[in-house]
Amino acid sequence: MIKTEDRERNIQILNEYKEVGVMQLVGDKYGITRERVRQIVSKYGYKKPIKVRLSKEQKRAIKEKKRIEWFWNNATKKDSGCLEWDGLKYPTGYVWMCKMEI
């Protein structure tokens, strides 16, 4: 039977591993081996979350959204209906448009 102190320590080790994600670092902190950390983690049934990968279409949509946000962060709509550019300008007064490729 596991003592209460050991169980609390194991849960503490598990929570530390959830934050850090590296067994060796957690083991060094608590003075135990990487293998022991692995045993504790597997005993409590924890598995690292799977990283989600975005499709090309999703990446394109994110870039397009950033591009639109960038534009509207640099432009102001006046009462007359005209747009005034607040972003960077060339010394000649022309607008400097950052070409953001998809």
Question: Whole-structure pTM over 0.85, yes or no?
Answer: no
Single-letter amino acid, residue 69: E
Query: Domain-by-domain residue ranges, the chain?
Result: 4-43, 52-102
Distance CA 73, CA 55 (A): 27
Which DSSP string do the residues of 41-69 spell out, in sequence order? HHHTT--PPPPPPPPHHHHHHHHHHHHHH
| Tens digits of pLDDT across the chain (102 residues) | 567 778 888 989 999 898 888 889 999 999 999 999 989 988 888 877 777 888 999 999 999 999 889 888 888 888 888 888 888 888 887 776 655 443
pLDDT at position 58, please?
Answer: 93
First-to-last alpha carbon distance for the chain, in angstroms, is 59
Q: Decide if 38 contacts 17 (C-beta within 8 A).
A: no
pLDDT at position 63, please?
Answer: 92
pLDDT at position 32, please?
Answer: 93
Which DSSP string do the residues of 79-101 spell out, in sequence order? TTS-EEE-S-B-TTS-B------
